[in-house]
Structure 1
Amino acid sequence: MQATTLNKDLSTFAADEAEILQAITGPLEDQGYAVANIGDISPDTLLSIAYFFGEVIPIGRGNDHITVIHTTSNVGSKNVPLHNDKSYWRIPPKYLILYCRESSGFENNHMHVSDIHGAFEKLSEEEKQSLIDKNLDIFHPSNRSSGKLKGKLVNYLNGDVFYRLRSDTIEKDWEAFNHWDQLVIDNLIEVPFNPGTLLIMDNWKFAHGRRLTSVETGYSRTINRVLIM
């Protein structure tokens, strides 16, 4: 894993913020993602932590720096395929923070993450080259009429690499991609994601998703998402 580039000194943070950062920066550098149970924090604290890693990207109609994602039995009651966020942008966010604010009705509340880059490195040289060479129409996963980006799955930028992985928007008859996608699935990591849990990952190299296999009627979950460049 390439070392994380930090843009602030821990001495500039409040004691509780510095403690959280100390808990997540090491694992993030070593393995590409980090998870910590940090308890209840304010939106301002969440943003302060996020700005340690780079520039927070405001998105949405209100240009909000924190996106609130609310999942209930009526909305989003399905599996979400492994993906990295905003893979249909020309340059996706470098880091992704997910913070669980509220959850009820889950027997096993978790998030799934997987190492896209590690899976790519396990492919044959021929398969890697097939993925590197091919140009694709990259669509928004939930609105194909919103336009498309002609892009690549494997992208090189300033000595680093980023990937676009969203199996539900990419053709299914491509042997090299199917092998890569299967390796990503086979190396799934189940992360406990209860209220007060913060998950940060390298969005260029890691995918995430959910499988709603253990829920009760009337479940709900509220997540705060922050995108960082």
Structure 2
Amino acid sequence: MNDLLNFRELSTRGWTAVDASAARIGLAQAVEQLAGTLGRPVPLRGRRLVQELRPTPSERAHPRSLSMLFGEGAFPLHIDTAHWPVPCRYVVMACASADGHAARTSLLPIGRLTLTRDEQSMLHTTVFRVRSGRHSFFATVASRERSFIRFDPGCMEPTCSSGPHVMSLLSSNRWASSLEEIDWEPGVIVVVDNWRVLHGRDAAAGIESESRTLLRVLVQ
């Protein structure tokens, strides 16, 4: 799988896609193998390394997940593991099953945003409480002391009046014309630089969960 990964595109664009439909190994093995070429694959919440993602109603979702907050509706733009002190560097996602109605994934590279100087300043100075159980902490979206963006409306709570405005600065509605959309097809693997690219999901309400199953591995 390593020879199929476009490292240059990943570095410059912030994400890249690989067609593994013809791979001689299973998709889960291909995802794990590809993730291992990028760094150290890590589990989330003690779960297995390769996780299955399906649109899930709120009442059946994990209590600390976007699925609990938004159910089968659209997911806001975010990074994965924003509640970690240092979020995972890469997210590797693969499509195990999808049909013509499967919810798309939206990508927004932070470096392409046209923000005013005041808006950029707000990303560096507006403080949020990042919920992580007993290990919750305070942080800003951006900082000159680190190279990653921290943003997830699901676990970050504003602590001041500018907080809601900062949330709106990175909303999918504001950047609808700049979003890059992934129409999932079985066998497609997408690698996202989680430090530089936000991702979200179209609404999946009314769609059978079996119509969209993704496999995901987080990489440190």
Normalised by the shorter chain, which TM-score bucket?
0.7 to 0.9
Q: What is the alpha-carbon distance in structure 1 between the residues aligned to residue 102 and residue 94 of structure 2? A: 17
Unaligned runs of 5+ in 1: 1-16
* Aligned residue runs from structure 1 range 180-219, under 5 A: 180-181=170-171, 183-212=174-203, 217-219=207-209
Q: Equivalent residue of 2:55, what SS?
A: strand
8 Å CA contact 1:84, 1:166 repeated in 2: yes
Q: Equivalent residue of 2:29, what SS?
A: helix
Q: Spell out, residue by residue over 1:9-38, the C-alpha distance to the aligned partner (whole angstroms, 9 max, x if none).
A: xxxxxxxx24422xx323212200112322
Alignment TM-score, normalising by the size of structure 1: 0.74
Which residue is 2:84 aligned to? Answer: 89
Report sequence identity in percent: 19
8 Å CA contact 2:129, 2:137 repeated in 1: yes
Q: What is the alpha-carbon distance in structure 2 between the residues aligned to residue 217 and residue 130 of structure 1? A: 38
Deviation of 1:98 after TM superposition, in Å, equals: 0.7
Which residue is 1:36 aligned to? Answer: 18
The answer on 1:59 being equivalent to 2:41 is no
Unaligned runs of 5+ in 2: 61-70
What amino acid sits opposite 1:130 in the alignment? Answer: M
Deviation of 1:205 after TM superposition, in Å, equals: 1.0
CA RMSD of aligned residues (A): 2.8
Alignment TM-score, normalising by the size of structure 2: 0.77
Q: What is the alpha-carbon distance in structure 2 between the residues aligned to residue 25 and residue 138 of structure 1? A: 32
The answer on 1:126 being equivalent to 2:118 is yes
Q: Equivalent residue of 1:59, what SS?
A: coil
The answer on 1:111 being equivalent to 2:105 is yes
What amino acid sits opposite 1:152 in the alignment? Answer: T
Query: What is the number of equivalent residue pairs in this alignment?
Result: 200
Q: What is the alpha-carbon distance in structure 1 between the residues aligned to residue 122 and residue 2 of structure 2? A: 44
8 Å CA contact 2:91, 2:216 repeated in 1: yes
Q: What is the alpha-carbon distance in structure 1 between the residues aligned to residue 180 and residue 120 of structure 2? A: 23
Alpha-carbon distance change, 227 to 156 in structure 1, aligned in 2, over 3 angstroms: farther
Q: Equivalent residue of 1:123, what SS?
A: coil
8 Å CA contact 2:95, 2:213 repeated in 1: yes
Alpha-carbon distance change, 72 to 138 in structure 1, aligned in 2, over 3 angstroms: closer
The answer on 1:148 being equivalent to 2:142 is no
